[in-house]
Structure 1
Amino acid sequence: MIKKIAIVGGGTAGWLAANHLGHALLQSGIEITLIESPNIASIGVGEGTVPSMRNSLQKFGISESDFINECDVTFKQSIKFVNWLDKHKHGANFYHHLFDHPHIFGEELTQQWLAEGNGNDYADFVSKQHVCCENNLAPKTIATPQYAGINGYAYHFDAKKFAAFLGSHATQHFAVKHLFAEIKDVSCDEQGFITHLIDSEANALEFDFIIDCSGFSAAFIGQKLGVGFVDKSASLLTDTAITLQVPTQSDDEIPPYTIATAHQAGWIWDIALTERRGVGFVYSSKYMSDDKAHAKLHHYLGNKFEHLTPRKIPMKVGHREKMWHKNCVAIGLSQGFVEPLEATAILIADFSAGLLAKRFPRTREDINLVADEYNQQVNYVWQQTFDFIKMHYCISDRTDSAFWRDNKKTDQLSEKLKNNLARWQRFTPVREDFASKFDLFDLENYLYVLFGMHYVPAKQQTKQSDNQQVAKLKQQRVNQLLSELPKHRELLDKIKKFGLQKY
């Protein structure tokens, strides 16, 4: 019987796993212990999420008001992609990957946008949310119940505070134990299952199941159990990030979106919290030196913070051959990493932990019934995620550097992505192009990115129709929201003072 689970590694991935498993197994008699090294700090820069995080937090029974106030949370309604297209052709350019569905008002507006020759911004044409983002409005009002939204939204937060917040919830509500120890080795039985974790004091800690949340080191799934790593660095070229935390003023407006600004060898994230900005310069070391990256980061910040020293984070791009081997499952960076674009790290960690919790084995025999299927499903998620992120680069018409030119080479694209892009040059993407339940990025995500980057069908399959009524309805709703929704910071101040309604 599986009676004792060890989650090795804290941080966001470890404590997400603890909450998912704690919630699912609370009445099972299974004991869960999260073991955290006192000497290894978490990466702590994954500060953006996607809307599915709301479902997880609500399922855990977390108060959204408490979460917002304790983790310096701001609302995220979009990713604003800046200069991902050729400036000479398009001038200074941007588009929004919004969290509202593009067909809230029906598919007619998309058809009209295609038929009229794409002169307008796609997200602005079909959505009420684009204008709200550009006016720094919140996605809800103080009267909107927690986890409900007038516009779709996710969160930005302080990653270290979020991990601590999740930890407190898991220990208080799901009886998860928290142990500080340095795990140096493991003992395995003759079948290759881990039976004991050996700490720095030579204590043998007995466990029946191990969740490896040890980060890029993959200390258990990789180093101890020998599961191989599928390197994707030849396809996704960015491999390094340097980050800074930049102070802001209490009356600064807070953009309700992540800003992703492209540069000659990658891109820059810019995330505004209530009292600071998290800024990260993502680049490929093959195409840009560290010194030049530092200089360009400071230039982006107006050379106002040259006294601050950026933190360098090498990125290991790829994923494990298997995420579940014997009685060990990797979650988080030990499982794999794409790069920070589109907040995929927390998304896949949350998905993987939730999937494991749904069919957690009770015996070793049960592992044989569920592990292969788990590996297939999570592996599919990784493949589709790599395709989605790679698409951002390969459909860009930028040619101003070797980085952007090399991203267009098709020899590193998956067959599925090549076929999809060829089809979408002639046919508009449709729901049936995304048939799997495990497509974490679906039709709406692709429409915003493809059409935002002017990747539209050459022979458009559209029908001319009179959509004036739909366009009028959309504009009425936009005008209503402009008058009703508060500014982003105004709502956060009210939540801090009054809290959100529970229902």
Structure 2
Amino acid sequence: MSETATVIDPYTPARPLGGSTDAPPPVRHVCIVGGGSAGWMTALLLATTAYGPRLKVTVLESPQVGIIGVGEGSTPWLRRFFETLGIEEAEWMPACHATYKSGITFEGWSGRPGFARYFHPFVSMLDNMTMPAFVDHVHARLDGADVPAHPDRFFVAAALARQAKGPRAAADFPFDVWYGYHFDATLLGQFLARKATDRGVDHRQRHVNQVLLNEQGDIAALQLDDGETLAADFFVDCTGFASLLTGQALRTPFIGFGDNLFNDAAVAMPTPLHGPLESQTVATAMRHGWAWKIPLTHRQGHGYVYSSAHCSADEAETELRRHLGLLDADIQARHLKMRVGRMEQIWQRNCVAIGLSQGFIEPLEATALLYVQVTASMLVEVLEKRALGPDAQAQFNEAMRQRFENTRDYIVAHYKTTSRTDTAYWRANAENMHLSDSLKGVLMTWMSRKPLIPGLKAGRFGQGYPAVSWYALLAGMGVFPDAEDLTPPTTAQARHDLTAIDDFIAHSLRHFPDHRALLADIPPGNSHRLLQTYAW
């Protein structure tokens, strides 16, 4: 897809981090190849840089290439993205059929009695009132005491999801709950495109026939299908799994995660929306992977993420249809292939890969858009600092490597701690020994009945996710001594008043509206509330 061309290199030599901000910007034109959520999120962030008015941003969107768009979930950091850009929920959410997300329920991942399902909550200011009791009960149970240690009892977010309440409290309630969203990914891309073009981004519907490199090996220009040659200073690869620029033109090696994560395919299909509108994603364990349920305002999004080494596409579709009670329904299924892993270098020469072109970790924790947001924000930062030299590039790539591998570890932990043995797929996951030292540190600390928090805070292991996530996962999976081996707790082990915790959560819930009612009348932004990293 590439060849060397004699084109004047527009890429200005880099300045180190901390260079003079009075100097002319080294990048005057950024060309983003590919639209969708990744391309348009990046375009919007670039258009609002410190020198945005002097920066030309072009998005090339091929009419020949479809967009991978299904019902999708996000982490709470998407909220900050919209707040940074001054875009109200009341504007974008209805346009994208979006709903609120308090967290994720994991159904059927554990066969341990009492732990058939658990909820992974997003962080809340209110958790500072209940998390200490949860952690104490976890360690008491690890020590053999028969005390309740299931995470669902201790977190407001779990109760919000169960009762189909929205995670935005009344204005007079001074505590913030972090939340994410569910949305139609195709509609989100279209909404962001409109916003970006309104803010001056140049949108061209053109197909790239060829990537032209200069003598130094940088991208000099793109040969388009209408014969035009488009040059730019810097390029962003948002071409999905094809990775047209980073992978094909610049020949960046790809590092697969197949030894750690077996799932590499998915089948998706929608169903009508019935019953309560819960503010949660549901991830249900299946024979060869897991199925998602994502509520939008007009339908339910369903899909099955599976390992093609253990299950054919037809078998996966049949299992999903049976799971949904739709074996004979005339609803078309959509099959997808996933390339799980990351590019060796996310920033290669004068090109940064963002979105699926940079890598992908299966969607169990909805991190895809988080990586788009993080990478685009990091790109904005280096452009604003005019720090495009080798040191800045190395720091950038190392930061992204750590993010990918930290997230991979957390996802792998779901499979490693499973107690399911009903299929070869689950047995292979439980027996998998391709674990990082960091993940081994988490699991060894847990099994040795020591607190995780000191090691997490010191950076010895488990980076990328807060303590509440690790405790919710391991306790939610029921990784404790067998019930018959538990003994009555001592007075110290049973010192927390669980009835008081139940009452606290029940009283807190009164300040949160029904999810449907909240979506019907979304209030103005609540950016005045504290968006901070909470103690846990």
TM-score normalised by length of structure 1? 0.91
Match of 2:396 in 1: 374
Q: Deviations over 1:120-176 (max 9, x none)?
A: 35223322222222111111246479xx97432110011111111112222223x22
The residue type paired with residue 324 of structure 2 is L
Cα deviation for residue 289 of structure 1 reads 1.9
Q: Within 5 A, what are the aligned runs for 1:284-303? A: 284-303=307-326
Summarize the Cα distance change of 1:305–1:48 in structure 2 as closer, same or farther, 3 Å threshold: farther
Tell whether the 8 Å contact from 2:253 to 2:343 is kept in structure 1 after alignment. yes
Q: Is the partner of 1:50 in helix, strand or coil?
A: coil
Letter in 2 for 1:391: A
Listed as ranges, the matches of 1:197-208 within 5 Å are 197-208=222-233
- 1:488-503 to 2 correspondences below 5 Å: 488-495=515-522
From 62, 85, 89, the equivalent of 2:110 is 85
SS in 2 for 1:485: coil
For residues 34-53 of structure 1, the aligned pairs below 5 Å read 34-45=59-70, 47-53=72-78
Q: Which moved more, 1:418-427 or 1:232-241?
A: 418-427
Question: Structure 1 residue 401: deviation in Å?
Answer: 0.9
Paired letter, 2:507: Q
1:477 equivalent in structure 2: 504
The equivalent of 1:409 in structure 2 is 431
Question: Which structure 2 residues correspond to residues 11-90 of structure 1 after superposition, within 5 A?
Answer: 11-27=36-52, 29-45=54-70, 47-86=72-111, 89-90=112-113
Out of 432, 440, 458, the position equivalent to 2:464 is 440
Higher mean alpha-carbon deviation, 305-314 vs 380-389, is at 305-314
Equivalent residue, structure 1, for 2:246: 221
Moved more, 406-415 or 151-160: 406-415
CA distance in 1, matches of 2:128, 2:175: 17
When residues 292 and 62 of structure 1 are mapped into structure 2, their CA distance, relative to the original with a 3 A threshold, is same
1:454 alignment partner AA = G
Q: Is the 8 A contact 1:221 1:329 kept in 2?
A: yes
SS at 1:484's partner residue? coil
- Does the 8 A contact of 1:230 with 1:321 survive in 2? yes
Q: Is the 8 A contact 1:221 1:330 kept in 2?
A: yes
Measured after TM superposition, the shift of residue 26 of structure 1 is 4.5
What are the within-5 Å matches in structure 2 for residues 458-477 of structure 1? 465=492, 471=498, 473-477=500-504
**Which residue in 1 is equivalent to 2:12?**
none
Q: Distance in 1 between matches of 2:237 and 2:447?
A: 42
Q: Secondary structure at the match of 1:313?
A: strand
Name 1:133's counterpart in structure 2: 161
C-alpha contact (below 8 Å) 1:19/1:170 kept by paired residues: yes
CA drift at 1:108: 3.2
Change (3 A) 1:73 1:108: same
Give the C-alpha shift of residue 421 in structure 1: 1.1
**Cα offset, 1:473, TM superposition:** 4.8
Q: What is the Cα deviation at residue 484 of structure 1?
A: 3.4
1:304 CA displacement:
6.5
Q: Which moved more, 1:94-103 or 1:263-272?
A: 94-103
Alignment partner of 1:198: what SS? strand
Secondary structure of the 1:255 match is: coil
Could you tell me which residue of structure 1 aligns to residue 282 of structure 2?
259
CA gap of 1:434–1:285, structure 2 versus 1, over 3 A, is farther
**Aligned 8 A contact 2:291 2:303 in 1:** yes
Q: How does 1:304-383 map to 2 (within 5 A)?
A: 306-360=329-383, 366-383=388-405
Cα gap change, 1:35 to 1:434, in 2 (>3 Å): farther
**1:96 equivalent in structure 2:** 119
Is 1:428–1:457's contact at 8 Å kept on the other side of the alignment? no
Could you tell me which residue of structure 1 aligns to residue 7 of structure 2?
none
Describe how 1:121-270 pairs up with structure 2 within 5 A. Answer: 122-141=150-169, 143=171, 150-173=176-199, 175-249=200-274, 252-270=275-293
Does the CA-based 8 Å contact 2:264-2:307 persist in structure 1?
Answer: yes
> Which residue identity lines up with residue 494 of structure 1 in the other structure?
D
Letter in 2 for 1:328: C
Greater alpha carbon shift after TM alignment, 60-69 vs 415-424? 415-424
Task: Say if 2:382 and 2:388, in contact at 8 Å, map to a contact too.
Answer: no
CA contact (8 A) 2:267 2:304 kept: yes
Matched-pair contact (CA < 8 Å) for 2:140–2:493: no
- Map Cα deviations across residues 282-309 of structure 1 (whole Å, 9 max, x no partner): 1111111222211111111112762112
For residues 176 and 438 of structure 1, do their structure 2 counterparts lie closer, same or farther at Cα, with a shift above 3 Å needed? Answer: farther
On the 8 A contact 1:46/1:345 being kept in 2, the answer is no
**Local SS of the residue matching 1:195:** strand
Distance 2:306 2:114 in 1: 23
Cα pair 2:170 2:512 within 8 Å, conserved: no
Q: Is contact 2:277–2:516 with CA below 8 Å preserved after alignment?
A: yes
Specify whether residues 438 and 114 from structure 1 end up closer, same or farther in structure 2 by C-alpha distance, changes over 3 A only: closer
Deviates more, 1:66-75 or 1:476-485: 476-485
Contact 1:141–1:491 (CA under 8 A) maintained in structure 2: no
Tell me the matched-pair count: 492
1:424 and 1:441 map into 2 onto residues whose CA distance is: 16
Amino acid at match of 2:269: L
Amino acid at match of 1:282: V
Is 1:114 paired with 2:139? yes
Alignment correspondent of 2:299: 276
Alpha-carbon distance change, 46 to 247 in structure 1, aligned in 2, over 3 angstroms: closer
Whole-angstrom CA distance in 2 between matches of 1:26 and 1:156:
33
Q: Indicate conservation of the 8 Å contact 1:193/1:327, yes or no.
A: yes
- In the TM superposition, what whole-angstrom CA distance separates every residue of 1:28-83 from its partner, at most 9, and x where no partner exists? 51111111111211111261001111111101111121122211111100100000
1:482, distance to aligned residue in structure 2 (A): 3.6
Q: Matches of 2:33 and 2:346 in 1, distance apart?
A: 15
State the superposition RMSD in angstroms. Answer: 2.7
TM-score, reference length from structure 2: 0.85
Distance 1:384 1:219, change over 3 A: same
Partner residue in 1 for 2:4: none
Which moves more between the two structures, 353-362 or 232-241?
353-362
- Is the contact made by 1:242 and 1:313 (CA closer than 8 Å) also made in structure 2? yes
**For residues 74 and 22 of structure 1, what CA distance do their matches in structure 2 show?**
27
SS at match of 1:455: coil
Cα distance between partner residues in 2 of 1:19 and 1:423: 43
| Corresponding residue SS for 2:410 | helix
CA shift, 1:317, in A, is 0.9
